[in-house]
Structure 1
Amino acid sequence: MAQDRDDAKDSKSLIDTGRRGLMQGAGLGAALSLLGAVSGGGFISTAQAAESGFPSHKKWKIVFVNHVTTNPFFVPTQYGIQDACSLLNMDYQWTGSATSDAGEMVRAVNAAIAAKADAIAVPIVDPTAFDKPIQAALDAGIPVFAYNADAPRGKKNPRLAYIGQDLYLSGYQMGERIVSLIDSGLVGLFIATPGQLNIQPRLDGASDAIKKSGKKIEIQTVATGATVNEELSKIKSFYLGHQDLKGMFAVDAGSTQGVAQVMKENNLPSKGVHGGGFDLLPTTVQLIHEGYLDFTIDQQPYVQGFYTVMQAFVTLASGGLVGPADTNTGLKFVTKETVEPYLNTSTRFEGKTTKPQIVPMSGAIKS
């Protein structure tokens, strides 16, 4: 019996250590490994969570409104939401628009308010459309978080925190990478939905960096559309009309995949054409490995879901005493030299499998 009590005490200590690390911003893998060790490889149960110091609570529901609900980019985001909800005994709803319709998204936010959601998360893809509904939610006592896209720089929006990439900076760094590859000539910059705040700042940043370089690079911006099929069609058409171009680069996941496919179909690297973009759709990753794209930029969609749920949980558990904080989900260039791990592992973290798992660390960590 004494040994049982000692084991239970050690187990509780592990849970406490893991949860403190998770809440204080420790590495995601390390924190989940600690939690997984307690539960034999899975996430801790609600009963175990209660033992660790959190009192029992209602199963809070967070409504995630999205601008492209069926886009494959957000598959790992939804897995992150599911995993965090499982860990923290919460529930969620995934809703919004399949075609980046801001009006449809606003109606979804209003519906969540009417249904008395406990928290709401929404990408602010329009500079003004979400101001009033977000304020209405806050007035009703519902915390609201922006994820993936935020209000324009310098513009105040009442959301409590933003969880996502610094979009302008990521675009600017892409522009710097472009000018390191190309000295002059025509470059196509592809964007799914111009003006929308999840991707327009990237385009602005890339354009600014190219212009600042002073190189004789001509930029042509091409709107490709909200679905991968129309994106591919627009990119093919642009190339056929501009076969003297020197580069094709995209600021969204679907257009990046389309650029990669057109680069392969026409063997453009052999003609001195460079390409790149954003995100880790499987086709993009494979074609980087095959040498048809120079790079893609990972913005870690899994944690855009996971950290948003965590922030909502802490806000609700503390009665708002613990204030939410903006969280930059990062910028990571993935190239042919660094793409191998993305090909050789199949996890929920990249949206490739439904199976929850802890991925062992292997070798040196690359920033």
Structure 2
Amino acid sequence: MVEKLAFVTVLLALVFGFEGTANAESTFIMVTHSPASDTYWVSVIKGLEQAGNDLGVKVQYRGIENNLNDPNQERRNLEAAIAAKPDGIIVSDPTPTSLNGTIQKASDAGIPVIIVNQGGDQVSNVGALAFVGDDPGKQGALAAAQFNALGSKHALIITAPVGALSFLDARTNEFKKAFTGTSSLAEIPLTDFNNTNRIKTIAEAQLQKDASIDAVFSIGGCCIAAMTQVRADLGDRGKGMHWGTIDVTAVATKSLKAHELDFALDAQQYAQGYYPVVMLALYIRQAIRPAETVLNTGPIVITPKNVDRFEASNR
């Protein structure tokens, strides 16, 4: 129901336009935990920029140098964004202990805030208007359901060490709860999340130790390229296993088309860039506050059967 209301809001905004205090000089800044070059966030930025064009506002994206490696860098970027006194801030919140205090400063300064991508349970804690993104627990459970349907009995989860990031813990834990078989972990230090060779080495070591593993699950876009290389290295064994991931990157799309990947969970992250701009514009121009504090944009299951339609969307 929430998704339908949001869609109607977008259509009304585009057809009838907005009138109010915001104009072409209004500026919304998005601050996140990933660089603009990250394949996941490229789609978010497309949505952000298109919404800015459609609604007649200025938008900016400010990411960090390496995905998830330095929450302090995101905090510093957020502080700089607050100092710029924009009309609205869109911010990811993957590490609430290090970011919530600064997000609250934005709210206290009278800057409306939308949390994006991660931090859906933090809206009330930081005075934000709403959250737009995914529920990491649902992502994990939905991935487990795919492997259950494929008949997998022992899954290797490529993830971070327990306690490193709360949203990755949620993905991992809910997967383990929902999966009817046995689960093992290939734990990747956060400092190696951008190191494909290191991820591949750690995953292959776990697979070599246990021949009963018949499925591999990547916890996110960071690990997809390494996972596909692992599949190739395993030869016939890899071809006989099942493979799935959270996030749809260019590598994942290619692997789905080649039937080398059984599924990928799409967060529909274009909407994570678009919807927050709509929410902020409505709030500023017409004092319309989101009635629901959480708008989930995914997950949606992409398989070899529907990947062509996904690819054709060019988002």
Bin the TM-score by the shorter chain: 0.7 to 0.9
Cα distance in 1, alignment partners of residues 223 and 101 from structure 2: 32
Partner of 2:60: 93
Matches within 5 A, 1:1-367: 25-26=7-8, 31=11, 52=17, 54-55=19-20, 57-58=22-23, 59-69=25-35, 70-99=37-66, 100=68, 101-152=70-121, 156-185=125-154, 187-191=155-159, 195-210=164-179, 213=180, 215=181, 217-223=182-188, 225=190, 230-243=195-208, 244=211, 245-267=213-235, 271-318=239-286, 320-323=287-290, 325=292, 326-343=294-311, 345=312, 347=314, 349=315
Q: 1:273 to 1:261 in 2, by over 3 A?
A: same
**Deviation for aligned residue 1:240:** 4.5
Q: Cα distance, 1:335 vs. partner? A: 1.1
User: 1:198/1:120 Cα in 2 relative to 1: closer, same or farther (>3 Å)?
Assistant: farther
Secondary structure in structure 2 of the residue aligned to 1:293: coil
What displacement does 1:250 show? 0.8
Give yes or no for contact 1:188–1:222 (8 Å, CA) kept in 2.
Answer: no
Deviations 1:2-45 (A, max 9, x none): xxxxxxxxxxxxxxxxxxxx9752397xx49x96xx9xxxxxxx
Root-mean-square deviation (Å): 3.0
1:60-93 deviations in whole A, cap 9, x for unaligned? 1111111011311100110101000011111122
Number of aligned residues: 304
Structure 1 pair 61/53, CA: closer, same or farther in 2 (3 Å)?
closer
Identity of aligned residues (%): 23
The 8 Å contact of residues 192 and 231 in structure 1, kept in 2 or not, is answered as: no
Deviation per CA, 1:169-214: give whole Å up to 9, x if none.
Answer: 11111122223334534x321126863345332122112212xx3x
Normalised TM-score (structure 2): 0.85
- Higher RCO structure (Cα 8 Å, ≥6 apart): 2
Contact 1:257 1:283 in 2 (8 A): yes
SS in 2 for 1:333: strand
Normalising by structure 1, we get a TM-score of: 0.73
CA shift at 1:223, angstroms?
1.4
Partner amino acid for 1:97? I
Check conservation: 2:120, 2:132, Cα contact below 8 A: no
SS class of match (1:64): strand
